[in-house]
Structure 1
Amino acid sequence: MSTPVSNDYVYALDREFVFHSWSTQGALNPLVIAGGQGCTLWDYDGREYLDFSSQLVNTNIGHQHPKVIAAIVEQASSLVTVAPATANLMRGEAAKRILARAPSHFGKVFFTNAGADANENAMRMARLFTGRDKILSAYRSYHGSTGAAIVATGDPRRVPNEFARGHVHFFNPYLFRSEFHATNEQEECERALQHLRRVIECEGPAAIAAILLESIPGTAGILVPPKGYLAGVRALADEYGILVILDEVMAGFGRTGSWLALDHFDIVPDLICFAKGVNSGYVPAGGVMISKPIAEYFDHHFFPGGLTYSGHPLAMAAIVATLDVMAEEGIVDNARQIGHEVLGPGLQALAAKYPLIGEARGIGLFWALEFISDRKLKTPLAAPLMGQMKAAFQARGLLTFIVENRLHVVPPCIVNAAQVEEALGIFDEVIGEFSGGYMR
């Protein structure tokens, strides 16, 4: 007789056999999830959770969208897999739809399995195209956990993984914790650009292949760049013959209330990396959008890179269906409207109400609350307290995405006003409980 499926059985199975990422294995207590629909998940006991994490900020169209599931099933019935060297209908249709959302001078898509290997291959293309070696990226960034991507990443997780060469970091704008003694967004922008210029000069412009930036740094704290910053980066890159790679893995495909986050800014990059929201994570997929000059270079120069599952038919079918659904159902517009009219104002009201919140910042459905224990010193709220807060949200049926002292508020882009109000009520209740004893 087979063992009945239950929360206890799935939990025991996981703890005995599964090795988890970014974890000390013995301290884990994973949540059991049995199914989902839209913005809701549930376990085997029927306990429901409102998903305000979008898992890892990727389920932009919510869980189990019927049209995308149907597209995956239809593709599975005709061709489950095929080598990347072949021509495949879904692969071509996916690339066509992706490029329709890119700046006009983009011409090709190289498909990968996720965002990390998208960044890996974008850096590879930049080095080959320019004949230069160095990649500049920000300290406040996350670009993936593969070889070069984790070294390009700025956060401390890169330190035990620094095996790749040719990476240099700089400080990107973050007015709340300014590295430049700035008092307003204009000063922060100007001084961050001057800092970047000096890094370029000191590293040797002729040695630098590309500047790699998240359009809006996500895991680092949803740091919306000040007006003029990305345009300034582009101008610096042009001055020195350096390429610009924008990492849209987390911020792209509806998350910010536009198709791509770069649409909010005056910048046209040379390469764009994507993953996550392009098919809501239903089947692993990522890729690099390649501008025409770089694509044409490789018409006559060998590209030394490839992946067995590049452009996997099931992933491509999921991309085609996801992008079609997003257009048909106005999901990008919903993200913009709900973010502007409901979520953003609600989070800003919480920040005004509770001194425990140092800042609320974001755009579309891409927001963060930064928690502090001392308003004068802006001391980050301690990690154990953030863990307790996360547990309190979960106990009330709300799944959240917490990094260090930040609560990232990133529901699926299909979320409605009532669901946002429900989450805001839980935030209010829990933050109110925590505000009593941890603030100076």
Structure 2
Amino acid sequence: MSEQMTEEITGEQIAAGKRAYELDREHVFHSWQAQGPFTPMTVLKAEGSYVWDGEGRKLIDLSSQLVNTNIGHQHPKVIAAIQEQAGKLATIAPQHVNDARSEAARLVAKHTPGELNKIFFTNGGADAVEHAVRMARLHTGKHKVLSAYRSYHGGTHLAVNITGDPRRFASDHATDGVVHFFPAYPYRSYFNSTTPEEETQRALKHLEDTILLQGPGTIAALILESIPGTAGIYLPPPGYLEGVRELTKKHGIVYIADEVMAGFGRSGKWFAVDHAGVVPDLLTFAKGVNSGYVPLGGVAISPEIFETFRERVYPGGLTYSGHPLACAAAVATITAMEDEGMVENAKRLGEEIIGPRLAQFAAEHPSVGEVRGTGVFWAIELVKNRDTREPLAAYGGSSPQMNQVVAAAKSAGLLPFANFNRLHVVPAMNIEDDVLIEALDRLEQALAVADTFVQ
């Protein structure tokens, strides 16, 4: 047995995990995978910032799964709330009032910017995006949606077409009214910018040119991840979000802030738009709202758009909208975040531990092209050459070199988050300082492997 085998995992658990793996490969169809060569990792247990794999190895979860377990695994207050709710009211149709949904809506509205005080609950982020776009189209009577390249907005039909990364290619037939524009991305600028100020100015000019050439009278909405997540955690340069907000107001376009990954404390503020003081017309959320314990997402709605549907029927809904178990988990999660100061802690972890250590990585490892982030939301760009910025894996895929880096991270006892040529540092907001420091030490072992590929 592996040296990392722990006494916390029994032989019976490992045997059960092997049976689960056999059944998985026999019956489960996995998302975003070619099914044949896929060898998924079995998870036997998770607690706090740790997971135990099918062999009983204890790994530090530096991924927060899909960047959604914002308060870590198995938080006792959230588990207790789910159990209590199941004993009281396990499910109810969405047309009926239930106290868990009402309180969850109050708590979400408490933290959303401006007057986004009306909450429509969905099952996750993709359907939140779908409904936000539907609301915008009905509110404006227009159809087109502007979305940035290098973005991700979900896997359902419209959401994946709104997405600006290669995952949309197989479904994109240019029939869904989506128009993509180039984002502000200083490290890999599409505008040949040499400063953040230039990037903001040129990216906003490009966006307004796109609006004018498409016709403002045809555009219902602009959707933008406040800080793009899987697309690279590239922070908007100063003034960019403010400029986007002004353009949408100027041209009568609904501004949808996608906060599915960046929201609920991950950036060191409750929502990433708070860094810029921007208030959108609609805000989509999911993931961190209840740390992913039960599927939940939603749309926070401005007074103007709410008024459109005060007397007019909104033609949309879902059986599990505001499901009691999911909402009870949200109430407990948000309350725990408030009581335990997790958002403030995320900010501190970014400023005092992650940011300085990643800056050290950039100074000492030639494979590190750039590090960037805020709170517990960071990315490391790996390159073959710092001068040319040639990525360690091509856009849209992986590479043998990148696979070796990820394997080295796992061998060091990490569960990493990797996408294309990047490693993301996205731990829970309440990870212990010493565990985070240990995780970064282990991550540096993987960077030593990446350095061997520098040309």
TM-score > 0.5, shorter chain as reference? yes
Match of 2:121 in 1: 111
Q: Distance in 2 between matches of 1:381 and 1:418?
A: 30
1:431: how far off?
1.2
Letter in 1 for 2:344: D
User: Residues 175 and 86 (structure 1 numbering): CA distance in 2 closer, same or farther, change over 3 Å?
Assistant: same
Match of 2:65 in 1: 55
Match of 2:417 in 1: 401
User: Residues 70 and 200 (structure 1 numbering): CA distance in 2 closer, same or farther, change over 3 Å?
Assistant: same
CA displacement, residues 145-202 of structure 1 (integer Å, 9 cap, x when unaligned): 1011000000011111125511000011111111001000000000000000000001
Relative to the length of structure 1, the TM-score reads: 0.97
Match of 1:23 in 2: 33
1:286 aligns with 2:297: yes
Contact 1:228 1:266 (C-alpha < 8 Å) held by counterparts: no
Q: Distance in 2 between matches of 1:362 and 1:43?
A: 29
1:346: how far off?
0.5
CA displacement, residues 40-93 of structure 1 (integer Å, 9 cap, x when unaligned): 111354310100000000000000000000000000001111000111111100
Paired residue secondary structure (2:355): helix
Q: Distance in 1 between matches of 2:153 and 2:13?
A: 41
In structure 2, list runs of 5 or more residues that go unmatched: 1-11, 394-398
1:287: how far off?
0.2
Q: Distance in 1 between matches of 2:138 and 2:299?
A: 15
Letter in 1 for 2:155: S
Q: Distance in 2 between matches of 1:51 and 1:193?
A: 37
Match of 1:434 in 2: 450
Letter in 1 for 2:375: G
1:181-220 counterparts in 2 under 5 A? 181-220=192-231
The equivalent position to 1:139 in structure 2, one of 149, 154, 160, is 149
1:326-405 counterparts in 2 under 5 A? 326-382=337-393, 383-405=399-421
Letter in 2 for 1:276: K
In structure 1, list runs of 5 or more residues that go unmatched: none
Q: Distance in 1 between matches of 2:36 and 2:49?
A: 30
Q: Distance in 2 between matches of 1:144 and 1:294?
A: 23
Paired residue secondary structure (1:41): strand
1:160 aligns with 2:170: yes
Letter in 1 for 2:39: N
Of 413-422 and 173-182, deviating more is: 413-422
Contact 1:141 1:219 (C-alpha < 8 Å) held by counterparts: yes
1:419 aligns with 2:435: yes
Letter in 1 for 2:321: S
The equivalent position to 2:50 in structure 1, one of 40, 47, 53, is 40
Contact 2:233 2:372 (C-alpha < 8 Å) held by counterparts: yes
Q: Distance in 1 between matches of 2:298 and 2:15?
A: 37
Q: Distance in 1 between matches of 2:407 and 2:364?
A: 22
Q: Distance in 2 between matches of 1:91 and 1:6?
A: 36
Paired residue secondary structure (2:72): coil
The 4+ residue runs of structure 1 with deviation greater than 6 A are none
1:358: how far off?
0.5
CA displacement, residues 229-262 of structure 1 (integer Å, 9 cap, x when unaligned): 0010011111111110000000000101111111
Contact 2:287 2:296 (C-alpha < 8 Å) held by counterparts: yes
Paired residue secondary structure (2:43): coil
Letter in 1 for 2:272: A
Q: Distance in 2 between matches of 1:207 and 1:364?
A: 38
1:121-132 counterparts in 2 under 5 A? 121-132=131-142
1:408: how far off?
0.8
Contact 1:6 1:45 (C-alpha < 8 Å) held by counterparts: no
Letter in 1 for 2:67: V
Match of 2:4 in 1: none
Of 110-119 and 294-303, deviating more is: 294-303
Q: Distance in 2 between matches of 1:394 and 1:250?
A: 23
1:3: how far off?
11
Q: Distance in 2 between matches of 1:186 and 1:420?
A: 33
1:313-328 counterparts in 2 under 5 A? 313-328=324-339
Of 198-207 and 425-434, deviating more is: 425-434
Q: Distance in 1 between matches of 2:350 and 2:268?
A: 8
Of 184-193 and 19-28, deviating more is: 19-28
Contact 2:382 2:450 (C-alpha < 8 Å) held by counterparts: no
Q: Distance in 2 between matches of 1:412 and 1:13?
A: 30
Letter in 1 for 2:294: V
Contact 2:78 2:333 (C-alpha < 8 Å) held by counterparts: yes
Match of 2:184 in 1: 173
CA displacement, residues 103-122 of structure 1 (integer Å, 9 cap, x when unaligned): 23222100000000000000
Relative to the length of structure 2, the TM-score reads: 0.94
Q: Distance in 2 between matches of 1:33 and 1:61?
A: 18
Contact 2:13 2:44 (C-alpha < 8 Å) held by counterparts: no
Contact 2:14 2:55 (C-alpha < 8 Å) held by counterparts: no
Match of 2:252 in 1: 241
1:435: how far off?
1.0
Identity %: 53
User: Residues 99 and 127 (structure 1 numbering): CA distance in 2 closer, same or farther, change over 3 Å?
Assistant: same
